[in-house]
Structure 1
């Protein structure tokens, strides 16, 4: 096959009509896409809710337990009678 024949074959392939898609394919794709989008939005909202709940729980625990305060020493006896 020489160059002219190859170019003619390529032109013939490119000039063919584009195959038509079935009409229900578009509606199925839109329906699935909206379903996937709704699931992603729901998952994102649930994760934000979980993160917020964890942050509030940590803040309440930190306010009650006060982990930054050093616990009192229990190894030394009290100094009485000086």
Structure 2
């Protein structure tokens, strides 16, 4: 099938009337689309909640552990010799 035959076949397909979509199919598609949107919204909210909880946990740990402070010395101080 060369290019002109393919173009003619596509034109024939486009000139035909489009088939009717059954009402049940439309209803199922709408229902599935709504379900997908609810799941995406719930997943997005869960992701933001986990991110917020991780940020709070990191902040609390940083305030209590103070990793930027100098660690305590490992040996006792040296007295007079």
TM-score of the aligned structures, taking structure 1 as reference length? 0.76
**CA RMSD of superposed structures (Å):** 2.5
Relative to structure 1, the CA distance from residue 38 to residue 13 in structure 2 (aligned partners, 3 Å threshold; closer, same or farther) is closer
- Which runs of structure 1 show a deviation greater than 2 angstroms over 4 or more consecutive aligned residues? 9-16, 79-82
| Matching residue of 1:79 | 78
Structure 1 residue matching 2:29: 3-state secondary structure: helix
| Matching residue of 2:41 | 41
Q: Name structure 1 gaps, 5 residues minimum.
A: none
TM-score of the aligned structures, taking structure 2 as reference length? 0.77
Count of residues in correspondence between the two structures: 76
Q: How far did residue 38 of structure 1 move?
A: 0.2
Relative to structure 1, the CA distance from residue 78 to residue 43 in structure 2 (aligned partners, 3 Å threshold; closer, same or farther) is same
Q: Name structure 2 gaps, 5 residues minimum.
A: none
Q: Which has the larger radius of gyration?
A: 1
